[in-house]
Chain A
């Protein structure tokens, strides 16, 4: 009996392994298609599929990327993406850390009520801010600038950031803070020397989540950035209209925009997963 059960189990396990292998391949196929398409000439892409490259690897070349890197508009858009993502991330982490500490350990008038408001703002859709903030930015000259895009991202990243860090900081043992206060440490000093180092895991998760969120954003920049400040996503989006004839630009461009998130993903897997999980309430 045990022999038969063992045989059945082995078969079952082989079936499960086979099924999962197929699923994994299906998941990787679209990305493989993007990569191979980006390495094929416009003419090859127009006449047959990327999978023919397996039979004929001579099709592949870096020509599309060379052309892309000579396109000053797209290179500028790539830098704009960096110029938007990095400050937006630093600001969200910084401002959230300050507020998170205040909400967790510094009593100020209206603190608890205000925090409930922050929790309520967690799920507010970005869409509700588009029109009003566009008018506001228009009035103060921020519309169409990198700074405007950054500020919008910071504001909509804050509810989650404050929420996450306040909860994390609240776990710090009270005695630890009391001891530091008795030692005569100023609040600013305690914040910098004690709270921030202790909060490093949460800060890292928040930073990664926020960075990817902003790096990958298209909607906000579509409205708030102009031709000179648009990030890569918007620059590529404007080429989608003639999709068929623009694969030579779109495929390598999309791949270029993927590289940074992929590096972040593989370098900080644990923080990444934790950040995305925690950030999913957004």
Chain B
């Protein structure tokens, strides 16, 4: 047909070429338009319509699914988490990117640094998720983050000396690890032998010497705290045997009428001496602090911290992006303006706040908007890092939409409504893109 019209006598060859080009243009664009129409545009319409029907799709329910969104606690949690994400992550990323971009301008190995920070952009969110599940592991012996946290913590707060120790039962001390142990009533001049068990041989400090019961001292309570355990066999419970070790560093208090009136720490051989006691009766107490369980680190993957923890992983992935983009903007700043300000006596901080940041504003806006759009769709990281039991607390819109539609919920009405909400949230960006394109012509 096209053949016949083009060979019609009198047809202008230029027009013929134009016509040919138009047909060809349509043919070239057709595959893209077909795919976009069937798999992107049509689903938008379908989802909007589907969101007005119930779970099975049989009954028209109007806006019920949208009302349900505002009522369902799990969906509300997801909405709240998404809001936290959208507010926190882009702000932190833009700030961090700006800071690092400014700092890298001053070092010679800036390229290598940028490479390292950009590296996670090549990594899948799944791999990043596995990486951070490892790092966030609760046990400080396995999770690197808690290993650091516990290490720092123990520098400032001395860990309890004997978290596993407990008093030998029935030999004068009563109580528990949680409440501490108390002896019977004693008068000054008495010698108390306080037997403990439950300390692994490796956990006894190297400085510990053989246990020795000290001599009685008038006007003072003396005694020894020791590990009532003879390696091998042959020890007698409640007696200080030759091979048994003292437990140094244990706090012992003299208690009168429920209040501690004197306190001492045991020496290398486990001995202690409480001086300056007036006549009367006292009880000896080994406080609970001696047996406090060691600091176990932070529960990163618990319900309280899961969202900050996943945002942390997200920062690891995206900081390089924000830094490189802002760095490119910095490099394009007019040097002479900055120099002029410096010559006029402006401090580095003034130059940064009054000149660099305002001039960078367009770049910062682009970075920020891009991050907001990406953060709104975050799915994989949350899905992978949050362990099953805290998935509910970690959910964002995209993961909630997934769980509702496919992950057992099987409510495709509500699921569609959630995906429409996701779409609505990016509509401002869509309008911005179109407007920017129309105004800028080509770019």
Q: Which residues of A contact B (CB under 8 A)?
A: 13, 16-17, 19-20, 23-24, 27-31, 33-34, 37, 45-51, 95-96, 98-99, 101-103, 106-109, 111, 114, 116-133, 136, 151-152, 154-156, 158-159, 162, 167, 170-171, 181, 187-188, 191, 212, 215-219, 223, 233, 236-237, 240-241, 243, 247, 250-251, 254-255, 257-258, 261-262, 264-265, 269, 272-273, 276-277, 280-282
Contact = CB atoms under 8 A, between A and B. Distances in A.
26 contacts: A17-B107, A20-B107, A23-B100, A31-B120, A49-B142, A49-B144, A95-B31, A99-B29, A107-B22, A107-B25, A122-B433, A124-B40, A124-B44, A125-B426, A126-B377, A128-B420, A155-B36, A187-B21, A187-B24, A254-B126, A254-B130, A258-B123, A262-B122, A276-B321, A280-B325, A282-B373
A4 to B, nearest CB: 16
Interface in B105-126: 106-107, 113, 115-126
B430 A122 contact: yes
A156 B419 CA distance: 15
A127 B31 contact: no
A233 B125 CA distance: 9
B363 to A, nearest CB: 11
Given A131-B412, A241-B388, 11 more contacts: A30-B144, A51-B144, A98-B28, A107-B25, A124-B423, A131-B43, A155-B38, A187-B20, A243-B133, A250-B130, A254-B131
Nearest to A115: B437
- Name A's interface SS: helix
A124 B45 CA distance: 12
A258 B127 contact: yes
A30 B419 contact: no
Interface of B: 17-18, 20-26, 28-29, 31-33, 35-36, 38-44, 46-47, 50, 100, 103-104, 106-107, 113, 115-127, 129-135, 141-144, 147, 316, 319, 321, 324-325, 370, 373-374, 376-377, 379-380, 383-384, 387-388, 398, 401-402, 405-406, 412, 415-416, 418-420, 422-423, 426, 429-430, 433-434, 437-438, 442-443
Nearest to A49: B142
Given A48-B142, A215-B124, A216-B126, A111 B40 contact: no
A130 B405 contact: yes
Contact of B384 (A126, A128, A240, A247): A240
A69 to B, nearest CB: 18
Contacts of A155: 35-36, 38-40
A171 B124 CA distance: 34
B373 A108 contact: no
Q: Quick one: which of A37, A152, A171, A258 has the most chain B CB within 10 A?
A: A258
A127 B426 CA distance: 12
Nearest to B436: A119
Contacts of A122: 430, 433
Contact of B134 (A34, A188, A217, A262): A34
A156 B39 contact: yes
A121 B423 CA distance: 10
A277 B121 CA distance: 11
Given A122-B433, A127-B419, A216-B126, A30 B35 contact: no
B31 A99 contact: yes
A155 B20 CA distance: 27
User: Would you list the 9 A-B pairs with minimal beta carbon distance, nearest first?
Assistant: A106-B25, A216-B124, A108-B25, A155-B39, A99-B32, A132-B43, A102-B28, A132-B46, A265-B122
Contacts of A45: 142
B43 A133 contact: yes
A260 to B, nearest CB: 9
A98 B32 contact: yes
A119 B437 contact: yes
B433 A247 contact: no
A124 B130 CA distance: 28
